Amino acid sequence: MSYESEKLAATLKAAREKKGLSQRALSARAGVPQSHISKIESGAVNLTVSSLTAIANALGLELALVPRKAAPAVRTITRSVGDAPKATPETRKEFTQLAKQLEHIQSLKIDNSAIQNLQRQFRELRQFENLIRNTDTLRSIREALKTVDNTGGLKTLQDASKQMNSFRNALAHGMADEDRARPPRPAYRLDGDNDE
C-alpha cells in the first residue's frame, strides 16, 4: 500500500473513531462489508473509489479534487474546522432552556410574525453556540421571555429578537462579550494627549 493510501486509510479510521462508530456500524451506514473496512484500515487491501466514496459519505466527509496549489490552504481550513471549539455544557443547557421557553411562547396568542422572527433569530444564534463562553446574554434573553405571559409580550418578543440578532452579529464578527463592552481605542493620538 502506498503512503497516500495509508494516510487516507488512517484518516478514515480516525474519523470513524471520532464519531464513535464501530467497523460494524460504519459497515451498516456505508454498505461496505465490515471485513473490507477492517482490511482497508489495516492496509491489507487497496482502497477503491466506490468504497472510499461510500465510507466518506457515511462519515460525513466530502471528497473533492483540489488543484495542487490550493491543497495547503484546504488542509489548513480542514484542520481548523476539525479543531473547532465545542459548545460548553452550560451553553447547551441555556440553549435547551431557551428552546423550551420558545415552545411555550408559541402556545400563547401573540402576533405570529413576531414569534417566527424570534425563532429565526434563535436558529441563527444557535449556529454560533460553540463560540459562546459566557452565557449571561442567553440567560438575560430567556429571563426576558419569561415575562411575556404577564406583559402581553409583543414588545418583549421584538426586544429579545433584537438582542439575539445583536449577539449573533457580535459572535459572527469574532467579538466576545467583554470586547463589546470596551470602548474602541483611537487610531492615533495628538502630541500632548495623555491617557489621564
The count of residues in the chain is 196
What does the pLDDT look like over 4-47, one tens digit per residue? 788 888 889 988 998 889 999 999 999 999 999 999 999 888 88
Q: Do residues 125 and 167 lie in contact, with contact meaning Cβ atoms separated by under 8 Å?
A: yes
Q: What is the pLDDT of residue 97?
A: 92
Q: What is the pLDDT of residue 194?
A: 53
Q: Do residues 74 and 66 lie in contact, with contact meaning Cβ atoms separated by under 8 Å?
A: yes
Q: Do residues 55 and 30 lie in contact, with contact meaning Cβ atoms separated by under 8 Å?
A: yes
Question: CA-CA distance, 22 to 28, in Å (whole number)?
Answer: 10
Question: CA-CA distance, 39 to 49, in Å (whole number)?
Answer: 15
DSSP 8-state assignment for residue 108: S
3-82 CATH: 1.10.260.40
What does the pLDDT look like over 66-111, one tens digit per residue? 898 888 888 777 776 666 667 788 998 999 999 898 888 888 777 7
pTM of the model: 0.49
What does the pLDDT look like over 171-193, one tens digit per residue? 877 764 444 444 555 555 555 55
What does the pLDDT look like over 133-144, one tens digit per residue? 888 988 988 888
Q: What is the pLDDT of residue 38?
A: 93
- Each domain of the chain, given as residue ranges in start order, spans 3-82, 89-178
Q: What is the pLDDT of residue 129?
A: 85
Q: What is the pLDDT of residue 112?
A: 76
Question: CA-CA distance, 14 to 12, in Å (whole number)?
Answer: 5
Cβ atoms within 10 Å, residue 91: 19
Q: Which three cell numbers stand for residue 113?
A: 410574525
The angle that helices 112-126 and 154-172 make with each other, rounded to 10 degrees, is 20
